[in-house]
Structure 1
Amino acid sequence: MKRDDGGVVNNPLRANIAQTLERERARRGLSHMHMAELFRTAEGEKLAYRTYIQTVRQKNNVTLTTLQIMANGLQLSFAALLAGGKKVPEWAHRLDDNAIRKRLARVIDFERQRRTLHRYEMAELIGVAEATFTKLERASGNISVDTIAAIARALKLDPATFLFSEKIPPGGADT
């Protein structure tokens, strides 16, 4: 995705995440430094302050792993971070980063079959290399919000809510 003159990428998911972080920071009355302190991994490592600030400024391509750390630290759901206040089904608030990867894989597979496309054609449509498409299809790799938004844009779906659509066939324990 391309940056504007201010270095910001036009990605509604980045905007939703930044707005949610700022809303939570204001609600909690925290400085940026104290807000960043909330983001620790399970091993006790902190998410870099720079990563947090760049996320708030919409200047970095946040990955699902980073979002999981932020969601855990804020005790929010992925859905709350990605949807940015848009209404999503209640079950969507129980999804973690692995469940999001699996749902994205199901969306891609569902849309590919609905459009009767070969895998290489679907990879071209969503604008990724075939190797990347294979990872997406297998629900593996550390997917970024820019990739998710690009897929939504290519499929003409709302990037903030398409992963939480009731139209996606259920699978696994995430729904």
Structure 2
Amino acid sequence: MLPNEAGEVNNPLRDNIAWFLETERRKRKLRHQHMAELFKTSPGQGLAYRTYIRTMRKRNNVTLRTVEQMAQALEVSIATLLVGGAEVEPWAHKLTEKSIRARLAAIIDSERKRRNLVRYQMAELLGVSEITFTKLERASGNISVDTIAAVGEALGRDPATFLFREPDSQHQPA
């Protein structure tokens, strides 16, 4: 996913996160600096102001761990940040960063088998390196929202919600 002239990437996940953060900031009547302070877990640790601002401007490819940190600070689910205003089942709000990585791995494995592809072919389909594919397949590493969106798009699914749907509702009619 390449940025446009303004440095923004066309990624619905980035859009949803920025929208939710701005909505929360206004609801809480906070300045950006004070909103960013909510994400600090302890002195010297937490989300930097720069990261928060770049995320608000959709110029930051945040990772799932960062999204989880934001969600915990705001006392919402990771799903709430990623889906925007879309409805998801109650179970989706209980997912952690680790369980989302596991769901992504299961979806990728299922699709690879359904399409009868070997691993390198699936990596090509997803537009990721074989090293990144291996991390996705093993549910390891820190996955970025751009990678999640790219996987969703490559599989022909809504990048913002495909992780939060039941397996039998994943496939769209051909």
Q: TM-score range by the shorter chain?
A: over 0.9
Q: CA RMSD in A?
A: 1.5
How far, CA to CA, are the matches of 1:77 and 1:43 in structure 2? 24
Correspondence for 2:28: 28
How far, CA to CA, are the matches of 2:168 and 2:145 in structure 1? 19
Q: Deviations over 1:103-134 (max 9, x none)?
A: 11011011111111111110010011111101
How far, CA to CA, are the matches of 1:168 and 1:49 in structure 2? 41
Q: Does structure 2 retain, via aligned residues, the 8 Å contact 1:110–1:168?
A: no
Correspondence for 1:104: 104
Letter in 1 for 2:139: A
How far, CA to CA, are the matches of 2:104 and 2:29 in structure 1? 35
Query: 1:127-146 counterparts in 2 under 5 A?
Result: 127-146=127-146
How far, CA to CA, are the matches of 1:64 and 1:42 in structure 2? 20
Q: Does structure 2 retain, via aligned residues, the 8 Å contact 1:106–1:168?
A: no
Correspondence for 1:60: 60
Correspondence for 1:160: 160
Correspondence for 2:118: 118
Shift of 1:40: 2.4
Q: Does structure 2 retain, via aligned residues, the 8 Å contact 1:126–1:154?
A: yes
Q: Does structure 2 retain, via aligned residues, the 8 Å contact 1:18–1:55?
A: yes
How far, CA to CA, are the matches of 2:166 and 2:16 in structure 1? 21
- Identity fraction in percent: 62
Q: Does structure 2 retain, via aligned residues, the 8 Å contact 1:40–1:69?
A: no
Look up the SS of the partner of 2:76 in the other structure: coil
Letter in 2 for 1:83: V
Gaps in structure 2 of 5+ consecutive residues: 170-174
Q: Deviations over 1:74-116 (max 9, x none)?
A: 0010100000010111100001111111111011011111111
Letter in 2 for 1:4: N
Which portions of structure 1, spanning 4 or more consecutive aligned residues, are displaced by more than 2 angstroms?
40-44
How far, CA to CA, are the matches of 2:168 and 2:94 in structure 1? 16
Correspondence for 1:12: 12
| Structure 1 residues 13 and 141: CA distance shift in structure 2, 3 A | same
How far, CA to CA, are the matches of 1:160 and 1:41 in structure 2? 27
Q: Normalised by the size of structure 2, how large is the TM-score?
A: 0.93
Q: Normalised by the size of structure 1, how large is the TM-score?
A: 0.93
Shift of 1:46: 2.6
Correspondence for 1:172: none
Shift of 1:45: 1.6
Correspondence for 2:89: 89
Shift of 1:163: 0.2
How far, CA to CA, are the matches of 2:129 and 2:58 in structure 1? 25
Correspondence for 1:173: none
